[in-house]
Amino acid sequence: MYKSIAKNDDELQRKSPEGTNFVCRIDRTFVLAKDYWTTVVSELCASFYGIQSAEISELTGYDDINFKLSKCAFLNGNLCQTQLLTLKFVNHWEAKFYPELCEAQADLAQLVANEGIKCPQSIKTIDGLLYVDYSCTNCPKLANVHAQPSLNSGIFGHQMPIPPVVLREFVPGTPLGVWVASTPTATRTFIERVDTFCEQIGTMLSTFHAACDRHNFCPPVFRQYAPIMALEHWHFHWREFELQKRTDKLEAKMAKQCAEVFEQFEHKVLGRRSEFEQGVVHGDFNESNILVDDEAKVCALIDFGDAHCSFRILDLANAIVYLYMLWAELVPSAGPADLNRLAKCLSRAYSASLGHSLAPNDMAHLALFVRARLVLSLINGLRTQRLASQNGPNEMEYVLKQQKMVQKVLGELSNCNDQTMLLACATADD
């Protein structure tokens, strides 16, 4: 039976949501009122950013709501046909740490861009602010928006405050996962050149980490904030896991595998946290946030909403998890050997670019971090389903996209007799 060795949750993790029913994700029922949302976005752009008109389209998001703005016409008369922007309604958990978190994210994006990694930069309001405190605005044009009861009870979750709004540059490029599935040629290119993609991704990750270390960048809010999916909320997810075990959503075999990961991670990692390398991490380093250009080269990194101070090996584990799931969707025969191959290529490129390998203790637990990420992804997906069913019909396609694959990969790792195989391949010198 799993039992926490922590004296209290605050010792080993940041403050987590008060209960498992906390609504972080902004409800997708807004798609039923697209005209209404176009009006909201248009009024925000005009009132706070000086954008008189723009073509508005919805972007994929998990906890946030994002819109793409193109063909922006500014109030000063300038017409920018090429500038693309992204307007984001920040999720409820992230918003709790504003304004410090917004400022830290903007500083991180600027620092990383100075190191040669393309990433979205913040666009300030007419008044020079990094975000719009939507609930405190006194703009007459938005009076009707504030009066809409659905804004803070239906669309934004039951009785939740109206979230902040931020505007950032839209970085050219296509998310790796989207690009791979776009054409047969792209799919074939990824399969044939997966090692090259891994090398480019590993190099970009090391550049990101090295930039933060070189500038000693770790603002205090990054030690206070951690996204809902973070390992720092381990016990929060354990409580959700206990709830899920009482439903038919989690099969007995999978529940046993998850329980084993919870117990191992608690004792081998959380109980020895100081023994692992710490630093600023991207937090969501995956195929959705890594962009490729028209020449099939990794070109940019987006979405710093999950950036915080944590285990450095976390970003590497995330990359391994999501690249392998992408690979497994394309190659039906994929198995542990393929997982090891990707892990080896990613970690070797990361270490070569960094100039040194990750600490032996970190690498010795790489497989456990991979499994831990899979468990959190599974449990968080089930939690989102549970809350959606309580609050009425929701658009769940994005949430459920990888759930079956997560269970498949977790099962493969749990059934593997030699758990050191991943480590051996990841640290091989040849």
- Reading the chain (430 residues) residue by residue, the pLDDT tens digits are 444 333 333 434 477 786 777 767 665 554 445 567 788 888 889 989 999 889 999 887 777 889 999 988 887 655 555 579 999 999 889 999 999 999 999 999 999 999 999 999 999 999 999 999 866 665 555 555 555 544 444 444 444 567 899 999 999 999 999 999 999 999 999 999 999 999 999 999 999 999 999 999 999 999 999 999 999 999 999 999 999 988 877 888 889 999 999 999 999 999 999 999 999 999 999 999 999 999 999 999 999 999 999 999 999 999 999 999 999 999 989 988 899 899 999 999 999 999 988 889 999 999 999 999 999 999 988 888 887 765 444 455 555 666 777 888 888 777 654 455 455 454 544 4
Q: Which amino acid is at 126?
A: I
- Number of C-beta neighbours around residue 238 at 10 A: 20
Separation of alpha carbons 257 and 349, rounded Å: 31
Q: Which two tokens stand for residue 198?
A: 């891994």
**290 φ/ψ angles, rounded to the nearest 5 degrees:** -100, 120
Length reported for the chain: 430
pLDDT at position 2, please?
40
Q: Which two tokens stand for residue 345?
A: 């290529």
Where in the chain are the domains? 9-24+172-426, 28-90+121-169
pLDDT at position 80, please?
59
Only one residue has tokens 């690498």, namely 363
219: which DSSP letter? -
Encode pLDDT of 317-353 as tens digits: 999 999 999 999 999 899 888 998 999 999 999 999 9
CATH tag, 9-24+172-426: 3.90.1200.10
- Number of C-beta neighbours around residue 189 at 10 A: 17
Using alpha carbons, list the distances in angstroms from residue 393 to 40, 232, 380.
23, 30, 18
Contacts for 107 with CB less than 8 Å, ≥ 6 apart? 217, 219
Q: Which amino acid is at 264?
A: Q
Q: Which amino acid is at 85?
A: L
∠ at Cα 193 (188, 195), nearest 5°? 140
Contacts for 174 with CB less than 8 Å, ≥ 6 apart? 182, 291, 292, 293
**138 φ/ψ angles, rounded to the nearest 5 degrees:** -115, 25
13: which DSSP letter? S
What global pTM score does this model have? 0.88
